[in-house]
Amino acid sequence: MSTVLVIGAGGVSSVCVHKMAMNPDIFTNIHLASRTKSKCDTIAASVKERTGVDVSTYEIDAEEVPAMVNLIKKIGPELVVNLALPYQDLPIMDACLEAGVDYLDTANYEPKDEAKFEYHWQWAYQDRFKSAGLMALLGSGFDPGVTSVFTMWLKKHKLKTIRQLDILDCNGGDHGQAFATNFNPEINIREVTAPARHWENGEFVETPAMGKKVEFDFEAVGPKNMYMMYHEELESLAKFNPEMERARFWMTFGDEYIKHLTVLQNVGMTRIDPVRYQGKDIIPLQFLAAVLPKPETLGETTKGNTNIGVIATGEALDGSGEKTFYINNICSHEAAYEETGNQAVSYTTGVPAMIGSAMMVTGKWTGDGVFNMEEMDPDPFMDMLNEHGLPWQVKELDGPVDF
Q: Considering the rule CB under 6 A, would residue 115 count as an interface residue with ligand NDP? A: no
Q: Strands 203-207 and 196-200, how do they pair?
A: antiparallel
The one-character DSSP state at 87 is G
Rule CB under 6 A: choose which of 9, 17, 136, 344 binds ligand NDP: 9
Length in residues, the chain: 403
By CB under 6 A, is residue 117 in contact with ligand NDP?
A: no
Nearest one of 389, 346, 332 to 14, comparing CA atoms: 346
User: Under a CB-based contact definition with an 8 Å cutoff, are residues 168 and 310 in contact?
Assistant: yes
Q: Is 107 in the site for ligand NDP (CB under 6 A)?
A: yes
The rounded distance, in Å, linking the Cα atoms of 13 and 199 is 31
Q: For the segment 47-106, give every residue that binds ligand NDP (CB under 6 A).
A: 60-63, 83-86, 88, 106
Binding of ligand NDP by 292 (CB under 6 A): no
**Strand 79-82 and strand 3-7: pairing?**
parallel
* Residues pairing with 80 in the sheet: 5, 103
Least distance to ligand NDP from the beta carbon of 319, Å? 35
Q: In terms of Cα–Cα distance, which of 218, 246, 232, 244 is closest to 326?
A: 218
| Phi and psi at residue 26, to the nearest 5° | -95, -45
Decide: is 157 part of the binding site for ligand NDP (CB under 6 A). Answer: no
- The CB-of-402 to ligand NDP minimum distance in angstroms stands at 27
Out of 12, 65, 234, 370, name the contact with ligand NDP by CB under 6 A: 12
> CB nearest ligand NDP: which residue?
10
| Residues in region 339-368 near ligand NDP by CB under 6 A | 349
* Residue 36 is a binding residue for ligand NDP (CB under 6 A): yes
Q: Where are the beta strands (DSSP E) in 176-234?
A: 196-200, 203-207, 213-218, 222-229
| For ligand NDP, the closer CB: 152 or 187 | 187
Q: Does 41 bind ligand NDP (CB under 6 A)?
A: no
Q: Could you tell me the smallest distance in angstroms from the CB atom of residue 322 to ligand NDP? A: 30
Q: Strands 305-315 and 322-332, how do they pair?
A: antiparallel
- Residue 295 binds ligand NDP (CB under 6 A): yes
**Closest distance to ligand NDP from the beta carbon of 373 (Å):** 10
φ and ψ of 43, to 5 deg: -65, -45
Under the rule (CB under 6 A), what is the footprint of ligand NDP? 7-13, 34-36, 39, 60-63, 83-86, 88, 106-107, 141-145, 183-184, 187, 295-296, 349
